[in-house]
Amino acid sequence: MDQDYSIAKEIKHLETFGSALDAFFQECEEKNLFKRIPPKETPETAAKRLADGYYLMRPCGCKFHAEETGAIALELFDLLKTHLPEREEDLAHIQDSFVSGKIEVVDFLASVFSNIDNDITKIISEYDLAEDLTTFFAVYLARPFRAKAARMLIEELDLEVWHYGYCPVCGHWASLSHIANKEDNRRTLWCLHCGTHWRFPRIKCAYCLNDDHELLEIVSPVSEESFRIQVCKKCRRYIKEIRSDDPVDQVSFDTVYLGMAALDYSAKDEGCVQDSLLTVRYDNPKGNKSLLYRQKTNSHESQMKAV
């Protein structure tokens, strides 16, 4: 990392972008997004699922309003072009693939929402799209839909029973960890994909649940110890982490997450594995073994790949 580089300055620089994303998500809240929303179980059944370590969202079979989806995609493209001018050419190429009809936006959203990363990989390859930007667009296109479903699914539920590093709602790995200095070092995990927060032990790996402090290492820039990664020497995975005096409800998680991207290079230098953003994985509470998440659609059974 460049010696003159500052994560704090990068986060400050991205505040306008983060505010624009927040406004975009708020506008989407009022839209009629779903033709068929993910099924919701009774509070008792849902609470039992959480207690057993199974997340709530079952996305296959969901349907989306094409007109609203197209409008949201165009709004997101406009937002990205405004705040990522250095990627104008790549963005224009991705947008043209949708506008020209080469890629159907509703089908694209369905693949992202159902975590079928192979579909997205094929699209990126077939149309020679920038992989990082297409993945970014995919995650943020699906976010309003997942967030709306998440609010519905967690009504009347207590997430305090959830003790895992993957999201209790949509099943994706946590993207950021927040430790509140003024709240007895309370640690909260945040999901990039649906915006859900949940508490998690401070000394524990979000991926393999290792709680041996000797196998957990904190790596941070010398002059910015509040911005760091927690590296697990057991599974070689990591999570970005911020220590802050601000409580969770005052943190712009998207801004902080984007501003800490440079720490991914630090993790790579530590020999860490970086998991795909487009797949889900969860652990079996009985023995903490990796499971494949299986879902059914009307036409075929889709096996979600654990990465």
Which residue, 219, 213, 302, is CA-closest to 267?
Answer: 219
Q: Tell me if 87 is assigned to some domain.
A: yes
Q: Tell me if 303 is assigned to some domain.
A: no
Q: Tell me if 295 is assigned to some domain.
A: no
Q: Which domain holds residue 65?
A: 7-156
pLDDT value at position 301? 30
pLDDT per residue over 25-77, tens digit each? 999 999 999 999 999 999 999 999 999 888 999 887 899 999 999 999 999 99
Phi, psi for 100 (deg, rounded to 5): -75, -10
pLDDT value at position 291? 36
CATH number of the domain that residue 235 is part of: 3.90.1670.10
pLDDT value at position 289? 36
Q: Tell me if 60 is assigned to some domain.
A: yes
User: 136 with 244, same domain?
Assistant: no
Q: Tell me if 228 is assigned to some domain.
A: yes
User: 166 with 186, same domain?
Assistant: yes
User: 122 with 199, same domain?
Assistant: no
Measure CA 220 to chain center.
22
User: 35 with 145, same domain?
Assistant: yes
User: 12 with 127, same domain?
Assistant: yes
Q: Which residue has the tokens 């029973």?
A: 161
Of 156, 191, 210, which residue constitutes the final position of a domain?
156
pTM for the model stands at 0.89
pLDDT per residue over 164-209, tens digit each? 999 999 999 999 999 998 778 899 999 999 999 999 999 999 999 9
Q: Helix crossing, 131-153 with 66-83: angle to 10°?
A: 130
Of 156, 181, 204, which residue constitutes the final position of a domain?
156
Percent of the chain with pLDDT over 90: 77
User: 149 with 30, same domain?
Assistant: yes
- Looking at residue 152, its amino acid is M
| Mean pLDDT value across residues 265-281 | 87
Q: Tell me if 99 is assigned to some domain.
A: yes
User: 257 with 117, same domain?
Assistant: no
User: 231 with 212, same domain?
Assistant: yes
User: What is the C-alpha separation between 42 and 19, in angstroms, rounded?
Assistant: 35
User: 142 with 165, same domain?
Assistant: no
CB-neighbour burial class of residue 202 (10 A; exposed 0-12, middle 13-18, buried 19+)? middle
Q: Between residues 3 and 87, which one has the greater pLDDT?
A: 87
Domain count, the chain: 2
User: What is the C-alpha separation between 150 and 154, in angstroms, rounded?
Assistant: 6
pLDDT per residue over 94-131, tens digit each? 999 999 999 999 999 999 999 988 999 999 999 999 99
User: 179 with 252, same domain?
Assistant: yes
Q: Tell me if 296 is assigned to some domain.
A: no
User: 200 with 102, same domain?
Assistant: no
Question: What's the first-to-final CA gap in the chain, in angstroms?
Answer: 27
User: 170 with 182, same domain?
Assistant: yes
Of 111, 138, 156, which residue constitutes the final position of a domain?
156
Q: Tell me if 2 is assigned to some domain.
A: no
